[in-house]
Amino acid sequence: MVNPLNLLQHYSVANSSLAGFGYNWSQDRLFWRTLLKKPTKCLNCNSEERNNTPPFYFQMHATFSRNNPATKSYPYMRIQLSAPLEVQNLLPYDFKFRIYDKHTKKEWTNFLRKGGLSPVHVVELSHLLLMSIDMQDTVYTASDFAIINSDSTEFDKETTLVARDNQGLELKLRLHYFPIANSGGAFRVAVYSPYVILNKTGLTMMVMSKSLLQSAKVAAGQMQTSETSPSAVHDPS
């Protein structure tokens, strides 16, 4: 009987997305001795239909101890496959988000409910990536694009998403980045509001914001919201 662990010492392996997704096996093969020299790699699986469908990407990272003598003669390591990017919705609204790849000139759209988390497998972390969101059933227009991944030191990741209500008032949302442990660079970007105010007083209330050197002004999104609906308020600073 063949021991699959022994086969790993002499043969490479490939990976694929779940059956039914319509993708082939990965083009690259993984051999454990190669991973000792280059433990991080981006794997891609092309579409079975060979159309304009973007590849399905995995961020792969091998973790091992270089001080362990067995590492040099046996595949004694942990290999983790992650989505290159995860998007988390911490807003009180559902939203659609768009990821634009500056390198390929292509974009990808998905819907994310409030509190939800969406893995993104259609992007590569060596590319410049931008994101915009469109909050559903609100008075806000789609936000401006913000850089969430840079391909060089020329551009930095941005931490603010700017949307506007139907009066043209700005709502400045925040982006927070979480590195995914042992992933080789994959990360999660969470969209949130610095303040969420819920009016349960039974009275109409108007919220205003004020920065240090400016006069107070009405916060965005209040002109057509109901008395019990949550209102996201940005940090004027």
Q: Map out the domains of the chain as residue ranges.
A: 4-82, 85-195
- In whole angstroms, give the CA distance from residue 70 to residue 222: 64
Q: Give which of 95, 138, 85, 143 is closest to 115, Cα–Cα.
A: 95
Please, what sign has the CA dihedral across residues 217, 219, 220, 226?
A: negative
Place of tokens 């983790």: 80
- Enter the tokens of residue 24: 């082939």
pLDDT of residue 235: 55
Q: pLDDT digit of tens for each residue in the chain (237 aa)? A: 445 556 555 556 666 666 667 888 888 888 888 889 999 999 988 888 777 778 899 999 999 998 888 888 888 889 999 999 999 999 999 999 999 999 989 999 999 999 999 999 999 999 999 999 999 999 999 999 999 999 877 789 999 999 999 888 899 999 999 999 999 999 999 999 998 888 898 888 888 887 777 888 888 887 654 444 566 655 554
pLDDT of residue 22: 80
The angle formed by the CA atoms of residues 120, 115 and 139, to the nearest 5 degrees, is 95
pLDDT of residue 226: 47
Would you say 200 and 142 are in contact if contact means Cβ atoms under 8 Å apart?
A: no
Residues comprising the chain, all counted:
237
Domain 85-195 classified CATH 2.60.40?
yes
- In whole angstroms, give the CA distance from residue 228 to residue 154: 44
Largest CA distance in the chain: 79
R_g (Cα) of the chain, nearest Å: 23
- In whole angstroms, give the CA distance from residue 189 to residue 193: 13
- In whole angstroms, give the CA distance from residue 128 to residue 228: 40
- 85-137 pLDDT, tens per residue? 999 999 999 999 999 999 989 999 999 999 999 999 999 999 999 999 999 99
Would you say 175 and 160 are in contact if contact means Cβ atoms under 8 Å apart?
A: yes
